[in-house]
């Protein structure tokens, strides 16, 4: 960024002063960095660049004038022929550039409008491209990334590929032969840097060979290797490039220095910084996880290696490198074979190219957004083309004069191309400057399901694409006027009189065609926008089967080690009653209940099978989402009872076993008859006492599943640990009460910390963040497109009216009323709008399949969407055409005819 | 030389040119782009770019009010050289006249000018 800004300053400075200006700028940058702060220095450089760019055109002109003065006076006969010829040629180009600059300045209104349109669109395009490029397009920053394979676990049917357990990793690392090497990175709680603001930095514990597997070398220092995998040698840390730049000011001296890191409890540990990773190199690059800034050695425990250990922590992101000659299919078969040896079925494992795991499903959406930007860019190009064409048409006198003075047609055409190029490149320059900031803003708005977001930046690659596309656009939209200028008989046109324009009918036809094309693209884009926004509305307003607002869940656990085994269930029940009593007494709490197993929208899922008379054992997809709940849970969550009753205080241990099921289960297992009173088998004969409305546990876009609820007090709490979650409904926003609730229950847990509160509405926002982002991006693109379209209609119709002033005047002199004239203009506009919308909608219909995977709850050929888009465009177009129509109606026949 | 100056009208520096001339005068042997810019920013509270300073200095040099020479390259500037400036006798005289004119016009108005918010 700094280098780019310096290069721009250099470019904008007259050659003679470059060395001194750049040198001074560097010196000043260092001075401010030293006396104030690096941030202040960067801020100053941004301001400096801005001031330089604003002043640049004048500087360049002054410099050129001086240069020409020198050339003219110095280029005497002693100069060589070639030099003179060259300098003439460059003077011809220079004068063309000057003419183009004058041309742009003469039509200031048009230029400003075209400039504004191009700047907005190019900035939007640059920002979008830099995101798409970093997240989806760019190859992974590892050696031969195509032979890297991700091995992931699927936690639930249709779920995203997630991390594996350490036990999985060690078995794979030993048994799989189709992979040359396997490494892993284990996510953990962030560590806090003790030195200043205590920034919490996401941290990854990496296996000793991970960086070898990835083929990554250190940017500075060295990386974690086999030496560090032993206890005692593991007090080292490697920094990500981003953290090193941001937090350590890119100081190479940090290597070898100790840093103190606080874990989540605040306990300090000192590690030696041994190295820095290259820029952009991070692992695991997992969607939904912040990119780690600190890498520490992973030191496995005995339990981590043993399949016999009772617990599993799924936190290992595993990556392997294919052995020479091995294919990913062989690796997959090999991994499945090894996994079977520890009882994991292929359905639980997903093996895929690392790139696919990193980009994930968001990749296709990003490409869709990029396509949308492309369409907006096309709209802008067509629009600017028609603006320039309209203006070129009225510059006929100037052009004819120049032709009469000997300018060739090619030279005139070149002038237009140069104008287009200058316009688009200046716009690109400003747009790029804007995108540096824009990308920073956009990054904070990105949904969490994107990986590699920390590498998003406007870099050389993005700049090249952005500038090249802009230059191409400049040439394309300047083509129309250039072509007209090279074809028309300018002198004849001038003789024909004042009101004529180049090409006459031909240019009107081209302009009309442009308008139709522009509106077609706008309609196409609006259909996509409407579908995506509708999906967002459908998803966020969907009835989830419970009330997600003002509810939180707080996990707790307590050891019952001290209690005799026979008394543990009673002790657990007493604890639960105490917890509820305390929580209900907290001001702001409306109701509270207990839950064992995952809360709605938490992303996890626990399923059991039951035996239903007449149906049999419910296996596979018929397994039920199972929750143990206390009385009051149904009311606290805002779930609805459809028939029967909910649980009450008499559903205790020792009482007859009872259960609630949901509608989906009643439908599936009882064929629609009322199941209340039926007896199923789940840990013994259990009577169904009620039916609840189905809940969308995994989020608005997941299907409803059969559910089973049993009373928490009838649960056989195994082991010496009792645990669960409190679900708490509050009167106001739940976060305000969370601390008070946690404080209230802490004494009951022997001072152990209850888990952080999970706010269910927050989870919902997170689940729908992708859709929200898509919808806002598309809304933005849609609005830009409609605005540009409206400008296009206004401009084109105003041009037509101006062009036909004499004809209109004549008609009015012959008795046409103003309202008839107005209607004629509007009718003219209406036909073009109709044609454009029809083509655009037909196009959208034809490619609607491409939208299908981005849309939820609405079909891509929904007629109402198309009607709405047509209506919207018609309304906007009409509004935009009214002003030109009114102007036509106000034509004074006398004035119009007198100009003849 | 002096004869020519006596007959040719003394170029009158513009307002911004005066700021630059004063900065060069004040900085003495240490007057180059970066220091001049900093001096004007801190004393006159004007935000300006280094290249604007050079544009003005180039113009002043053409008018014969300043002259410049190039220093040695330094590593902190990436091996780039500094261009130092100083006032020519003509420049010094022009600045003196401009200053006298300003002081003369402002004499007795100090209190009133200060009172303006």
Which residues in chain B have Cβ-Cβ distances shorter than 8 Å to A27? Answer: 34, 76-77
- Rounded distance, CA A152 to CA A271, Å? 30
Distance from CA of A431 to the nearest CA of B (A): 21
**Do B48 and A51 count as a contact with CB atoms less than 8 A apart?**
yes
Any residues with CB less than 8 A from the CB of B15 and at least 6 apart, and which? Answer: none
- Model confidence band, residue A566 (pLDDT cutoffs 50, 70, 90): confident
The per-residue pLDDT for B36 is 94
DSSP 8-state code for residue A657: P
The per-residue pLDDT for A696 is 86
**Do A26 and B76 count as a contact with CB atoms less than 8 A apart?**
yes
- Rounded distance, CA A841 to CA A316, Å? 48
The per-residue pLDDT for A771 is 84
Question: What backbone torsions phi and psi does residue A691 show, to the nearest 5 degrees?
Answer: -125, 130
The per-residue pLDDT for A502 is 44
Distance from CA of A31 to the nearest CA of B (A): 10
Q: 3-state DSSP call for residue A494?
A: helix
Please indicate if any CB of chain B lies within 8 Å of the CB of A52: yes
Question: What backbone torsions phi and psi does residue B69 show, to the nearest 5 degrees?
Answer: -145, 160
The per-residue pLDDT for A490 is 60
Distance from CA of A26 to the nearest CA of B (A): 6
**Do A52 and B49 count as a contact with CB atoms less than 8 A apart?**
yes
Please indicate if any CB of chain B lies within 8 Å of the CB of A36: no
Q: Comparing A751 with A66, which gets the higher pLDDT?
A: A751
Predicted ipTM?
A: 0.85
Interior/surface letters B19-56, b for 16+ CB within 10 angstroms, e for the rest? bbbbbbeebeeebbbbbbbbbbeeeeeeebbbbbbbbb
B68: nearest Cα among A25, A67, A20, A27: A20
Give the model confidence (pLDDT) of A82-121 as tens digits.
444 444 445 566 677 777 777 777 677 778 888 888 999 9
Q: Which of B35, B51, B63 should one mutate to test binding to chain A, selecting the residue with the greatest count of A CBs within 10 A? A: B51
DSSP 8-state code for residue A227: G
Contact at 8 Å (CB) between A134 and A455? yes
- Rounded distance, CA A752 to CA A528, Å? 52
| Section A639-667 average pLDDT | 90
Q: Which of A7, A8, A16, A27 should one mutate to test binding to chain B, selecting the residue with the greatest count of B CBs within 10 A? A: A27
**Do B52 and A51 count as a contact with CB atoms less than 8 A apart?**
yes
- Model confidence band, residue A487 (pLDDT cutoffs 50, 70, 90): low
The per-residue pLDDT for A688 is 93
Please indicate if any CB of chain B lies within 8 Å of the CB of A30: yes
Distance from CA of B63 to the nearest CA of A (A): 14
The per-residue pLDDT for A206 is 93
Please indicate if any CB of chain B lies within 8 Å of the CB of A204: no
- Rounded distance, CA A532 to CA A773, Å? 10
The per-residue pLDDT for A499 is 46
Q: Which of B34, B68, B78 should one mutate to test binding to chain A, selecting the residue with the greatest count of A CBs within 10 A? A: B34
End-to-end CA distance of chain A: 59
- Rounded distance, CA A26 to CA A224, Å? 36
A269: nearest Cα among A277, A279, A259, A254: A259
The yes-or-no verdict on residue A347 having pLDDT over 70 is: yes
**Do A47 and B34 count as a contact with CB atoms less than 8 A apart?**
no
Which residues in chain A have Cβ-Cβ distances shorter than 8 Å to B32? Answer: 20, 24
The yes-or-no verdict on residue A500 having pLDDT over 50 is: no
Shortest CA distance from A28: residue in chain B: B34
- Rounded distance, CA A782 to CA A369, Å? 12
Please indicate if any CB of chain B lies within 8 Å of the CB of A6: no
The yes-or-no verdict on residue A63 having pLDDT over 60 is: no
The per-residue pLDDT for A838 is 94
Mean pLDDT of all residues belonging to chain A: 82
Q: Comparing A391 with A244, which gets the higher pLDDT?
A: A244
CA A9, A14, A16, A20 torsion: positive or negative? Answer: negative
Q: 3-state DSSP call for residue A190?
A: coil
Whether residue A394 has a cis bond before it, omega within 30° of 0: no
Give the model confidence (pLDDT) of A19-59 as tens digits.
888 889 988 888 888 888 888 888 898 888 888 877 755 55
Give the model confidence (pLDDT) of B73-91 as tens digits.
877 787 888 999 999 999 9
Which residues in chain B have Cβ-Cβ distances shorter than 8 Å to A24? Answer: 32-34, 37, 50, 77, 82
- Model confidence band, residue A488 (pLDDT cutoffs 50, 70, 90): low
Question: For chain B, how long is the longest CA-to-CA vector?
Answer: 51
Bridge partner list, A727:
A553, A593
The per-residue pLDDT for B46 is 86
DSSP 8-state code for residue A137: I
**Do A26 and B80 count as a contact with CB atoms less than 8 A apart?**
yes
Please indicate if any CB of chain B lies within 8 Å of the CB of A879: no
Which residues in chain A have Cβ-Cβ distances shorter than 8 Å to B83? Answer: 20
Query: Distances from the Cα of A548 to the Cαs of A331, A498, A527, A536, A630, in angstroms?
Result: 43, 70, 31, 17, 19
Stated as kind and residue range, the H or E segment containing A427 is helix A409-445
The per-residue pLDDT for A288 is 66
Of B47, B48, B78, the CB nearest to A26: B78
Of B51, B58, B81, the CB nearest to A19: B81
**Do A51 and B54 count as a contact with CB atoms less than 8 A apart?**
no
The yes-or-no verdict on residue A231 having pLDDT over 80 is: no
Q: Which of A3, A17, A20 should one mutate to test binding to chain B, selecting the residue with the greatest count of B CBs within 10 A? A: A20
Query: Distances from the Cα of A231 to the Cαs of A180, A267, A435, in angstroms?
Result: 26, 18, 47
| Section A559-570 average pLDDT | 80
| Section B61-67 average pLDDT | 90
What six digits make up the tokens of A783?
């609005």
Q: Which of B30, B48, B49, B81 should one mutate to test binding to chain A, selecting the residue with the greatest count of A CBs within 10 A? A: B49
Question: What backbone torsions phi and psi does residue A650 show, to the nearest 5 degrees?
Answer: -80, -10
Give the model confidence (pLDDT) of A292-322 as tens digits.
889 999 988 888 888 877 667 778 899 999 9
| Section A264-275 average pLDDT | 82
| Section A225-242 average pLDDT | 86
- Rounded distance, CA A625 to CA A221, Å? 51
| Section A624-643 average pLDDT | 91
From chain B, which residues contact A within 8 Å (Cβ)?
A: 32-34, 37-38, 47-52, 54-55, 58, 74, 76-78, 80-83
| Section A649-662 average pLDDT | 89
Bridge partner list, A164:
A316
- Rounded distance, CA A183 to CA A175, Å? 14
Helices (H), A315-361: 328-341, 354-359
- Rounded distance, CA B93 to CA B5, Å? 10
The per-residue pLDDT for B6 is 46
Size of interface A-B (CB pairs under 8 A): 73
**Do A25 and B54 count as a contact with CB atoms less than 8 A apart?**
no
- Rounded distance, CA A730 to CA A720, Å? 32
Q: Which of A8, A9, A21, A33 should one mutate to test binding to chain B, selecting the residue with the greatest count of B CBs within 10 A? A: A21
Which residues in chain A have Cβ-Cβ distances shorter than 8 Å to B34? Answer: 24-25, 27-28, 31
The yes-or-no verdict on residue A544 having pLDDT over 70 is: yes
The per-residue pLDDT for A280 is 82
Contact at 8 Å (CB) between A53 and A12? yes
**Do A28 and B34 count as a contact with CB atoms less than 8 A apart?**
yes
Q: 3-state DSSP call for residue A859?
A: coil
The per-residue pLDDT for A493 is 57
Any residues with CB less than 8 A from the CB of A523 and at least 6 apart, and which? Answer: A836, A837, A839, A840, A841, A843, A844, A869, A870, A873
The per-residue pLDDT for A209 is 92
| Section A659-672 average pLDDT | 90
Distance from CA of A72 to the nearest CA of B (A): 18
Pairing of strands A658-662, A685-692: parallel
Q: Comparing A432 with A446, which gets the higher pLDDT?
A: A432
Query: Which A-chain residues 433-472 have CB contacts (< 8 A) with chain B?
Result: none
Give the model confidence (pLDDT) of B43-56 as tens digits.
998 888 898 899 89
The per-residue pLDDT for A99 is 72
Give the model confidence (pLDDT) of A688-699 as tens digits.
999 999 988 778
| Section A209-214 average pLDDT | 93
Please indicate if any CB of chain B lies within 8 Å of the CB of A51: yes
| Section A538-560 average pLDDT | 87
| Section A420-438 average pLDDT | 89
Q: What is the CA radius of gyration of chain B?
A: 16
């Amino acid at each position: 960024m700094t280098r780019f800004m310096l290069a721009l300053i250099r470019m904008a400075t007259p050659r003679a002063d470059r060395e001194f200006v750049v040198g001074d700028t560097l010196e000043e940058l260092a001075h401010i960095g030293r006396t104030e702060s690096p941030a202040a220095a960067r801020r100053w450089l941004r301001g400096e660049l801005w001031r330089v760019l604003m002043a640049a055109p004048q500087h360049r002109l002054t410099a050129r004038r001086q240069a020409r003065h020198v050339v003219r006076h110095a280029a005497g006969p002693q100069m060589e022929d070639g030099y003179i010829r060259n300098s003439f040629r460059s003077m011809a180009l220079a004068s063309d550039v000057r003419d183009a600059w004058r041309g742009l300045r003469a039509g200031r209104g048009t230029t400003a409008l075209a400039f504004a349109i191009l700047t907005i669109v190019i900035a939007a395009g640059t920002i979008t491209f830099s995101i798409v490029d970093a997240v989806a397009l760019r190859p992974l920053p590892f050696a031969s990334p195509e032979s890297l394979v991700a091995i992931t676990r699927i936690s639930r049917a249709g779920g995203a590929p997630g991390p594996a357990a350490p036990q999985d990793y060690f078995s794979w690392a030993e048994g799989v032969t189709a992979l040359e090497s396997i490494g892993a990175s284990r996510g953990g709680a962030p560590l806090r840097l003790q030195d200043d603001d205590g920034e919490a930095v996401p941290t990854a514990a990496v296996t000793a060979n991970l960086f070898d597997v990835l083929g990554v070398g250190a940017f500075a220092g060295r990386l974690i290797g086999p030496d560090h995998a032993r206890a005692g040698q593991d007090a080292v840390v490697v920094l990500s490039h981003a953290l090193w730049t941001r937090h350590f000011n890119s100081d190479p001296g940090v290597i070898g220095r100790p840093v103190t890191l606080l874990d989540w409890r605040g306990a300090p540990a000192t590690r030696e910084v041994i190295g820095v990773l290259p820029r952009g190199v991070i692992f695991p690059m997992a969607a939904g996880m912040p990119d780690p800034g600190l890498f520490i050695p992973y030191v496995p425990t005995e339990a981590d290696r043993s399949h016999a250990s009772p617990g599993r922590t799924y936190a290992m992101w595993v990556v392997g490198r294919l052995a020479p000659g091995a294919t990913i299919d062989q690796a997959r078969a090999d991994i499945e074979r090894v996994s079977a040896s520890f009882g994991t079925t292929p359905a639980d494992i997903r093996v895929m190219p690392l790139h696919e795991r990193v980009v994930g499903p968001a990749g296709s959406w990003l490409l869709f957004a990029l396509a949308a930007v492309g369409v907006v860019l096309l709209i802008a190009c067509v629009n600017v083309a028609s603006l320039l064409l309209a203006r070129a048409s009225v510059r006929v006198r100037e052009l004819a004069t120049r032709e009469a003075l000997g300018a060739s047609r090619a030279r005139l055409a070149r002038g237009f191309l140069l104008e287009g190029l200058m316009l688009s490149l200046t716009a690109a320059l400003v747009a790029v400057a804007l995108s540096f900031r824009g990308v920073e803003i956009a990054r904070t708005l990105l949904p969490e399901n994107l990986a590699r977001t920390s590498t998003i930046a406007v870099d050389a690659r993005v700049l090249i694409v952005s500038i090249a596309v802009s230059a191409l656009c400049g040439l394309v939209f300047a083509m129309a006027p250039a072509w007209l200028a090279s074809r028309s008989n300018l002198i004849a046109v001038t003789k024909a009189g004042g009101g004529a324009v180049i090409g006459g009918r031909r240019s009107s036809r081209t302009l009309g065609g442009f308008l139709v094309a522009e509106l077609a693209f706008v309609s196409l884009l609006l259909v996509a926008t409407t579908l995506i926004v509708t999906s967002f509305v459908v998803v966020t307003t969907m009835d989830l089967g419970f009330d997600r607002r003002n509810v939180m869940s707080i996990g707790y656990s307590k050891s019952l080690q001290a209690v005799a085994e026979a008394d543990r269930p009673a002790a657990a029940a007493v604890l639960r009653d105490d917890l509820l009593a305390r929580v209900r007494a907290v001001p702001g709490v409306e109701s509270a209940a207990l839950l064992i197993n995952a809360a709605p929208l938490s992303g996890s899922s626990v399923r059991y099978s039951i035996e239903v008379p007449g149906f049999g054992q419910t296996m596979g997809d018929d397994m039920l989402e199972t929750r143990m709940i206390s009385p009051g849970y149904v009311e606290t969550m805002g779930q609805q009872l459809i028939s029967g009753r909910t649980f009450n205080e008499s559903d205790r241990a020792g009482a007859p076993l009872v259960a609630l099921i949901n509608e989906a289960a009643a439908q599936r297992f009882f064929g629609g008859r009322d199941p209340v009173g039926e007896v199923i088998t789940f840990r013994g004969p259990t009577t169904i006492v009620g039916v609840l409305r189905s809940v969308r546990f995994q989020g608005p876009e997941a299907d409803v599943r059969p559910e089973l609820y049993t009373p928490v007090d009838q649960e056989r709490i195994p082991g010496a640990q009792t645990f669960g979650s409190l679900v708490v409904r509050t009167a106001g926003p739940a976060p305000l009460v969370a601390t008070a609730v946690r404080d209230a229950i802490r004494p009951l847990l022997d001072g152990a910390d209850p888990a952080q509160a999970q706010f269910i509405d927050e989870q919902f926002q997170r689940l729908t963040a992708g859709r929200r982002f898509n919808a806002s991006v598309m809304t933005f693109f849609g609005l830009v497109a409609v605005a540009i379209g409206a400008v296009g209609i206004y401009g084109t119709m105003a041009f037509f009216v101006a062009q036909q002033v004499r004809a209109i005047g004549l008609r009015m002199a012959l008795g046409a009323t103003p309202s008839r004239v107005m209607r004629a203009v509007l009718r003219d506009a209406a036909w073009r709008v109709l044609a454009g919308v029809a083509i655009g909608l037909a196009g959208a219909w034809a490619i609607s399949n491409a939208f299908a995977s981005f849309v939820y709850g609405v079909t891509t050929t929904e007629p109402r969407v198309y009607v709405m888009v047509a209506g919207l465009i018609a309304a906007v177009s009409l509004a935009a055409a009214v002003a030109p129509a009114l102007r036509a109606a106000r034509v004074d026949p006398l004035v119009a005819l007198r100009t003849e | 030389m002096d004869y020519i100056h006596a007959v040719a009208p003394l170029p009158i520096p513009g307002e911004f040119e005066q700021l630059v001339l004063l900065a060069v005068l004040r900085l003495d042997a240490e007057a180059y782009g970066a220091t001049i810019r900093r001096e004007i920013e801190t004393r006159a509270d004007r935000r300006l770019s280094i290249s604007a300073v050079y544009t003005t200095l180039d113009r002043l040099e053409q008018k014969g009010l300043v002259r410049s020479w190039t220093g040695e390259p330094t590593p902190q500037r990436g091996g780039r050289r500094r261009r130092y400036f100083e006032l020519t006798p003509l420049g010094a005289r022009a600045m003196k006249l401009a200053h006298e004119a300003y002081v003369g016009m402002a004499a007795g108005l100090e209190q009133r000018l200060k009172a303006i918010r």
